[in-house]
Chain A
């Protein structure tokens, strides 16, 4: 029996297609989960820790879609649909306190009708509450607000968001290799057949073969695609966020107008995070935070909550988003929606890029790319991620990873610790 099982297992490995997903941000993590749930063999390759790139430095906003309901309805509908799905599949990983869109000027007030229309058209539940009520719920809100509309915004925690998808993928057989950088794609004629990786934990190089490779490298997707001599119309667009040293709001606070710089304050745990700006960058690994952007966050943020100016800053961060170029020339004009590129159209088979989007829509992005993967690999399996409850993110670090290799006990240099403690005292 056991011997038979082993050969059966081997047989299975030959038959079941193997898919490599490059990137363990929200898109890659959700994609690995979707493909593993459909029964495919999946290996995730990530050059750093989970959520090391764009996803990690995220505004943590579970979009209701309100932010885009006037300017980009396609994105807005994606957001509200996914918002409702995430509430079902990761209920323990969300702060669900809704959001307010507040009008500060007559122009904002004039925008309200269009906003409510937009919400209705995108089936986003939106209700106007009185200024008095808004101020009672949010004591730090600018007392001069003219109107407030409540929408089902929420807050997630991007690192654990990814861990939950990856832990579930691992439960379904996926392998996750962090600190492993894709140094090259293996091409055979017009086919991409594998990846060359360098494991930074050991310095070892390895080649992994796959039936298909999904490029989910976010703003680094262009760099990966170039290794197969194809391109992705992506514009790495950085944004600055400022985290305050205490939490000033219960709900997500948005300016009731078209999206602009510093018009949103997302509370989370013990902080409020103001965001964001938008500018194109050449190298997503080398972003310098412009001092004037930080100041702009404070001046914009204090319009929503005057106390912003009086609170110490806890942290400031910037990261490149992987926005897709569609017509508009300004960084704010590119769509926040996502796109899947089958590079067969560029003459390269076995290689697909999923780009754009945002963490709120990661599951939908995964569904779209997994549908394409399955079609290309001739696998008949339906997407099941809409109603599959994710396992605890805490499992991720407890699941066996044969790649961790041998390790040493930390803290061998006792003298350093002691001197350190003394310095501290």
Chain B
């Protein structure tokens, strides 16, 4: 078992922040969350960090690993540790730090509430992300008559509300009321789930507002960092296209 040196951001209310170092024994195959768990369970129970599902579903454990936003639960140690330099662990940016690796993510959830995107969605029977030979075989299988209620499935949205996109976004640092990548992606999702003209108007109004899509610098850092392939930047661009198209239609009186 390798001995992994960690350099962890520490902060407690009323005290100056600092970095603590410690070394943990964890297997080669471990994920970064295992290193944090070990630092807490073996070295220092006062270390605060967030965790729950350990498989990229709850979104709670998001931090920066060597400066880059990641979910430690699905980040393999071997992918981020060079074998000697201490692994640096910091809280997310653009959120107030509560203590150590824990940030106050209320501003994230305010944005998600504003967009009011449901966390579950109706979906066609899923098709796998990578179509391998099994999937091809399945697709070629002859159509079979199914019970009626088997035509639609429901599933959780791709976004796990981890806050990584807001931490990675350079615009967030400049405008703390910016609706942000997740908020705007949620507006896009919510907009495409509804035909209600009032709702559409409301959602597009939010996107078109002072802190909406036009604030985005098109840095695409959010899409790069998103652990769930939500592609918030792509959705921001799509909202811009729709807003521009609507303006043109209005100009021509259509």
Contacts and interface: CB of A to CB of B under 8 A. Distances in A.
A275 B143 CA distance: 31
Given A52-B52, A129-B147, A424 B67 contact: yes
Nearest to B144: A136
Interface string B126-168: 1011101011011101011111001001111110100000010
Contacts of A55: 52
Contacts of B224: 424
Secondary structure at the A interface, as helix, strand, loop or mixed, is mixed
Interface string B87-130: 01011111111110011111011101100001110000110111
B106 A397 contact: yes
A269 B91 contact: no
B127 to A, nearest CB: 9
B64 interface: yes
Interface residues of A, number: 81
A361 interface: no
A270 B127 CA distance: 11
A246 B128 contact: yes
B156 A314 contact: no
B238 interface: no
Interface string B156-183: 1110100000010000010000000000
Secondary structure at the B interface, as helix, strand, loop or mixed, is loop
Contact of B88 (A97, A271, A407, A416): A416
Contact of A397 (B56, B64, B66, B109): B109
A306 interface: yes
Contacts, number: 237
A364 to B, nearest CB: 22
B11 interface: yes
A159 B59 CA distance: 9
B154 A139 contact: no
A269 B158 contact: yes
Given A136-B144, A160-B119, A179-B99, A410 B94 contact: yes
Contacts of A421: 67-68, 221
Contacts of B66: 420, 423
A269 B134 contact: no
B46 interface: yes
Which of B97, B156, B224 is the most central at the interface, judged by chain A CB atoms within 10 Å of its CB? B156
A410 B102 CA distance: 10
B193 interface: no
Given A57-B54, A135-B141, A271-B57, A392 B113 contact: yes
B58 interface: yes
B98 A270 contact: no
B140 to A, nearest CB: 10
A186 interface: no
B113 A394 contact: yes
B17 interface: yes
B91 A410 contact: yes
Which of B96, B99, B157, B224 is the most central at the interface, judged by chain A CB atoms within 10 Å of its CB? B99
Contacts of A419: 67
B141 A50 contact: no
A52 B41 CA distance: 13
Contact of B12 (A95, A139, A201, A317): A201
A314 B12 contact: no
Nearest to B111: A394
B13 A201 contact: yes
Contacts of A136: 141, 143-144, 146
A158 B55 contact: no
A268 B57 contact: yes
Contact of B13 (A129, A288, A407, A413): A407
A398 B110 contact: yes
A310 B146 contact: no
B37 to A, nearest CB: 8
A132 B73 contact: no
Contact of B125 (A203, A250, A314): A250
Interface string B51-81: 1111111111000101110000110000000
B67 A92 contact: no
B60 A286 contact: no
Given A97-B153, A392-B113, A397-B108, A416 B56 contact: no
Contacts of B58: 51, 56, 157-160
Interface in A292-332: 306-307, 310, 314-317
B253 interface: no
B47 to A, nearest CB: 8
Q: Which 8 A-B pairs have the closest CB atoms?
A: A420-B67, A139-B138, A56-B52, A411-B93, A159-B58, A317-B54, A243-B55, A136-B144
18 contacts: A48-B51, A51-B58, A160-B119, A200-B47, A201-B102, A243-B56, A273-B55, A286-B42, A291-B29, A306-B134, A397-B109, A407-B96, A407-B104, A410-B93, A410-B95, A410-B103, A412-B17, A424-B224
Given A48-B50, A60-B53, 6 more contacts: A96-B154, A135-B138, A203-B12, A291-B27, A315-B31, A394-B112
Interface of A: 48-52, 55-58, 60, 92-97, 129, 132-133, 135-137, 139-140, 157-160, 179, 181, 200-203, 241, 243, 246-248, 250, 268-271, 273, 285-286, 288, 291, 306-307, 310, 314-317, 392-398, 404-413, 416-421, 423-424
Interface of B: 11-14, 17, 27, 29, 31, 41-42, 45-60, 64, 66-68, 73-74, 88, 90-99, 102-106, 108-110, 112-113, 118-120, 125-126, 128-130, 132, 134-135, 137-139, 141, 143-147, 150, 153-158, 160, 167, 173, 221, 224, 228
